[in-house]
Amino acid sequence: MINCNHFRLFLVASALLLSSSNLYAADGSDWNIASRLLPPPAAASEALSSSIASTPQPTPPPPGMMPQTPEQWEAFIEQATSAQTIPLETLAQMSNTTIEKQQLAGVTVYSVTPDTIAPEHKDHLFLHVHGGGYVILGGDAAPSEAATIAASSGIRSISVDYRMPPAAPFPAAVDDTIAVYREILKTTPANKIAIGGTSAGGGLSFAAVHKMKELGLPLPGAIFAGTPWADLSKTSDTLFTNEGIDRVLISYDGLLSAAAEIYADGEDLKHPLISPLYGDFSGFPPTILISGTRDLLLSDTVRAQRKLRDEGIIADLHVFEGMSHAGYLLEAGSPEAISSMNEISLFFKKHLD
């Protein structure tokens, strides 16, 4: 039998040893981790591991390279979004969907209808809000993820092309999402609607539900939060531990910090409708969350799941080995991507209605 007193002495001695070691910086708070080699993730799928192995080590942009003026932001947004935009006709053919650009409640949206609608989803709708750090991937780039999910789940989708900075900072994105949701509620009961998206889309989905609660609106039946940007401040642990390891976002210092600043437009970055992790998650719908071990926003994802679970909300968390931010979208056809889409489909089928 273990002697409890001896065990306590062992813990105290271990703590003293660690506190006196050189693991800590001189001030005793920050750790200075030595440089080390990072191999491709051996336990990830061959497709993902090979892709990472062929990717040069990512480097963040030099300081001062981000846009400064509204004109510079507009040029940057146009270039970045154009590079990621697939013509709607091509996207529809690739995803076996029909895509129509429309107006709902004065907001531009894209209606995405899969060629085959699952019987379970004949009366259901997925309200999609796109990612892109609240600054890019609008316009015809917006419905790309919606088409993927609509096709894989067999569910109709409405993708919101919400207004963005520099012309329309916070709260325009939240307001547009709520306006579209109100319009959809006229024909579709709330419990038949799922809301979601990736990155800023995941964060905006949480913020929209906070706003729905504030307005007394009926809440959707389910949420999909793909690696959600749920805290725009530089707080989450993996912003530090995965810096330079996430081959997509790379670092908070750069596009993320600049996007957070221009989106918030002077408001506190910890405002619950900007960083929804600081809001009240009580009463939230069942939520599926997806991330990866190399995701810069892994901590945002697990913190959101913990907030939900602390309120007794169903919150399924899926973390994929070796996957960077939004890797399930970028490595289409990989086992990780296929599994992610399958999990979303199963979750919607289980929790809508």
Query: Using one digit for the tens of pLDDT, what is the confidence trace for 146-200?
Result: 999 999 999 999 999 999 999 999 999 999 999 999 999 999 999 999 999 999 9
Please say if the pLDDT value at position 20 is more than 60: no
- 226 bridge partner residues: 198, 290
**Could you give all domains of the chain from N- to C-terminal order, each with its CATH number?**
90-351 (3.40.50.1820)
Please say if the pLDDT value at position 127 is more than 70: yes
Task: For residue 55, give the DSSP letter.
Answer: S
Please say if the pLDDT value at position 222 is more than 50: yes
Is residue 114 a contact partner of residue 307, using CB atoms and an 8 Å limit?
Answer: no
What's the rounded mean pLDDT across residues 130-141?
A: 97
Q: Model confidence at 23, in pLDDT bands (50, 70, 90)? A: very low
Burial 202-221 (b: 16+ CB within 10 A, else e): bbbbbbbbbbbbeeebebbb
- 225 bridge partner residues: 197, 289
More confident residue, 59 or 135: 135
CA 75 to each of CA 67, 69, 173, 253: distance values in angstroms, whole numbers, following the listed order:
9, 10, 20, 20
**Amino acid at the residue 124:** H
Query: Using one digit for the tens of pLDDT, what is the confidence trace for 28-53?
Result: 688 888 888 899 999 999 999 999 99
Residue written as tokens 């013509």?
87
- Going by C-alpha positions, the residue among 210, 204, 221, 222 that lies closest to residue 137 is 204
